[in-house]
Structure 1
Amino acid sequence: MKEFCEKWWKRIATREMVFIGIVTLVASLVASWLKRFPGLSLFGALIIALLIGMIAQFPIRRWYAGRSVAHKAGVKDAAGLISNKLLRLGIILLGFKLNLTVLFTQGIKCLPIAAVVVALTIVVCYNIARRMGVDPQLAILVAGGTGICGAAAVMGLSGSIKVPPEQEDDKANNEVMAVAIIAIMGTIFALLEIALGPLTGLTKTQLGITAGASLHEIAHAVAAGDAFGAVDIATIMKLSRVLMLVFAAIIIAVWWDRNHSEMPSDGERKVSFPWFMLGFIGASVIGTFVPFIATITPQLVDFAYIVLGMAMAALGINVNFKAIAKKGRKAFLASFITSVLLMCFAAGVAFVFF
C-alpha cells in the first residue's frame, strides 16, 4: 500500500500536473460558458473543450514542453492521467442525470426501442467501418458514439477497452478522431432533421421520438426536440439510449478482450470489467431515490460536465493531428452511412409505435 501511494504521489505531485490541471480546468469552464451561445449550443461543452485543448497544444509544446525531454514527458503523462481518470469520474457523475423513475414509467415504451436502436447501430456501423479497412478500435468507438450518446459514449467505451502501454497513444488518437467525427455528424443530422422534420407529415411526438432515437449528442436531441415542440419525449428517448451505455460498455469489454487482446503467458484471460459503469448506475439510483441528492442533481451534472470537459481538453493536448488526417476519412464515411440508416429506421419506428 505504501509503495502504491508513493508511486501515484510521484505522478500527481508534479509541476506539469498542476500546469495541465489548470489549463484543462480553464478550458472546461470556458467551454461551459461558450456552449450557451446559439451557434455553439449544438456542439456542447465537451466538444468545445476538446477543440480548446487541441488549440492549446501548440503554445504548450512551443513554450513549455519544448524546453526539455523531461518537460515533454511530464506534460504527456499529466494530460494522459487527467483524461483517463477524470473521464471515469465524469461518467459516474453523469449518472445523476438519469432519473430511473421517469425512464421506467414515462419512458417504458422507449427502453426496448433504445436497446434495439443501440444494438443495431453499433453492429452495422462497426461492420461497415471494418469493411472499409478502419482500425477495429476506431471502428467500435465511432459505432458506439453513433449509436449511444456521442462523445460521452466514445469516452465511456474507450474506458472499457484495455490496450498495452505502447498502444496508449494510438488509443488516445482514436478517441479524438471518434469524438470529432460524432460531433460533426451529430450537428449535420440535427440541422437536417430540424429542416426536414416538418415536411415528413409526422406528429410532434413522432418527430421527438425520431430525434431522441437517432441524434448523437444529448444537446442535438434536445435542440431538435425543442424545434418540434416535443423536447420532453425527445429527451426521454435520448436518455433511454444513454442508459444502454452501461450494457454496451460491459459487452464490448468482454468482446474486446476475447477478440483483440493477446493471451497472457499463463494462459488465463482476465476480462477488464468497466467497474466505473457500476458507479454510473449507483449515481442514477441515488439521484433518483435519495430526496436530498435529487435537489442538487443539476449542480452535480454541471460538475460532471466540468470534469469531463477537463478530460476532453487533456485529450486534445496529446492528440496527433497527422494520425487523425490519415485514419479518419473512412471512419467518417462509415458513420455518415450509418447515421442515414439510423435516421430512417428511427422515423419508421416512431411512425409505427407512436
Structure 2
Amino acid sequence: MKEFCRKWAKRIATKQMALIAIITLTATLIGMWAARFEGLKILGALIIALLIGMVVQFPIRAWYTKDDPQRAAGVKDAAGLIANKFLRFGIILLGFKLNLELLFTTGAKCLPLAALVVTVTVFVTYWICRWMGVDPLMAILVSCGTGICGAAAVMGVSGSIKVSPKRESEKENDEVTAIAIVAIMGTIFALLEIAILPLLNLTQPQEGFIAGGSLHEIAHAVAAGEGLNRPVPAGQVDAATMANIMKLSRVLMLVFVSIIVAIWWDKRHSEVTEVGGKRKVAFPWFMLGFIATAAIGTLFLQTVPASAGFINALGGNVAKIFLGMAMASLGINVNFKAIAKTGVKPLIASFIASIILVLICWGLAVLFF
C-alpha cells in the first residue's frame, strides 16, 4: 500500500500536473461560460473545452516543452491521467442527471424505442465504417458516439476497450477524432432539424422524439428541443421535454452498450494478455457508479425535494467540470496528422448513419406518438 501511494503521489505531485490541471479547468470554465450564448449553445461546454485544449497545445509545445523531453513526457502523462480518471468520475456524476422515475413513468414508451434506435444505429454505423475500411477501434467509437450520446459515449465505450501499450497513443487520437466527428454531425443535424421539422406537420411530442432520438450530444438535443418548442394543448408534452426524455433514455443505454462492447472486444480484438496468457475483460466498473448515482439522485428527489438543487448541480455543473477537464486534456494530446489521416471515412460513415437515424426516428415518432 505504501508503495502504491508513493508511486501515485510521485505521478500526481508534479509541475506538469499542476499546469495541465489549471489549463484544463480554465478551458472548462470558459466553455461553460461560452455555451450560454445562443450561437455556441449548440456546441456545448464539453466540445468548446476540447477545442480550447486543441488550440492550447501549440503554445505549450512552443514555450514550455520545446527541447525538453522530460517536460514533454510530463505534460503527456498529466493530460492522459486527467483525461482517463476525470472522464470516468464525470460520467459517474452525470448519473445524478438521470431521473429514473421520469424515465420509467413519463418516458416508459421511450425506453424500448431508445434501445431499438441505439442497437440499430450502432450496428449500421459500424457496418458502414468497416465496409469503408475503417479500423475496428475507430469504427466502434464512432458508432457508439453516433448511436448513443456523443462524446460521453465515445469516452465511456473507450473505457471498456483494452489495447496494448503501443496502441494507447493511437487510441487517444481515435477518441478525439470520433468526438470531433459526432460533434460536427450533431451540430449539422440539429440545425437541419430545427429548420425542417416544423415544416412536416408533426406534433410537438413527435418533433421532440425525433430530436432526442437522432441527435448525438445532450447539448444538441436540448438546443434542438428548445428551438422546436411551441405552445401545446393542456396535458401534451412539448418538444423540449420530449427531446430531453428521449435523449436521457439513450444515455441510459450507454451502460449496457459499454458492457457488451467490453465482452465483444475481448473476444474479437483484444491484444492484451495477462499472466499465464489469460485475457482480462476491461469491464467498465464506472458504469455501475453511473447507475448508482442515478438511483441515489432519484431517491433523494423523491424523499427530500429540497435536495433538488444539490442533485442537479452534481449531475450538471460539477459533472461538466470533470468531463470538460477530461476533454480539454484530450485536446492537448491530440495528433492533428492522425486525425487528418484517419478521420475522413468515419466522418462519411457517420453522416450516412445520421441520415438513417433521423429517418428511423421519424418513422417511430409517426407510429408511436
* Alignment correspondent of 1:339: 354
Q: Does 1:330 align with 2:345?
A: yes
The one of 266, 276, 285 aligned to 1:275: 285
The one of 328, 331, 338 aligned to 1:313: 328
* Alignment correspondent of 1:14: 14
Deviates more, 1:330-339 or 1:220-229: 220-229
> CA contact under 8 A between 2:100 and 2:298: conserved in structure 1?
yes
* Alignment correspondent of 1:23: 23
* Alignment correspondent of 2:246: 237
**Which string of whole-angstrom CA distances, capped at 9 and with x for unpartnered residues, describes residues 229-262 of structure 1?**
2100111011000000000111001111111113
* Alignment correspondent of 2:4: 4
The one of 260, 283, 286 aligned to 2:296: 286
> CA contact under 8 A between 1:42 and 1:220: conserved in structure 2?
yes
> CA contact under 8 A between 1:221 and 1:234: conserved in structure 2?
yes
> CA contact under 8 A between 1:225 and 1:231: conserved in structure 2?
yes
The one of 293, 307, 311 aligned to 1:297: 311
Q: Does 1:60 align with 2:56?
A: no
TM-score if structure 1 supplies the norm length? 0.98
The one-letter code of the counterpart of 2:260 is: I
**Which string of whole-angstrom CA distances, capped at 9 and with x for unpartnered residues, describes residues 88-140 of structure 1?**
00000000000000000000000000000001100100110011111111111
The CA deviation at 1:263 is: 6.5
* Alignment correspondent of 1:167: 167
1:67 and 1:23 map into 2 onto residues whose CA distance is 21
Q: How does 1:118-197 map to 2 (within 5 A)?
A: 118-197=118-197
TM-score if structure 2 supplies the norm length? 0.94
1:162 and 1:263 map into 2 onto residues whose CA distance is 7
Percent identical pairs in the alignment equals 64
The one-letter code of the counterpart of 1:284 is: A
> CA contact under 8 A between 2:162 and 2:272: conserved in structure 1?
no
* Alignment correspondent of 2:235: none
> CA contact under 8 A between 2:163 and 2:271: conserved in structure 1?
no
| SS of aligned partner of 2:178 | helix
* Alignment correspondent of 2:367: 352
User: Aligned-pair RMSD on alpha carbons?
Assistant: 1.1
Q: Which runs of 5+ in 1 are unaligned?
A: none
Q: How many residues align?
A: 354
* Alignment correspondent of 1:101: 101
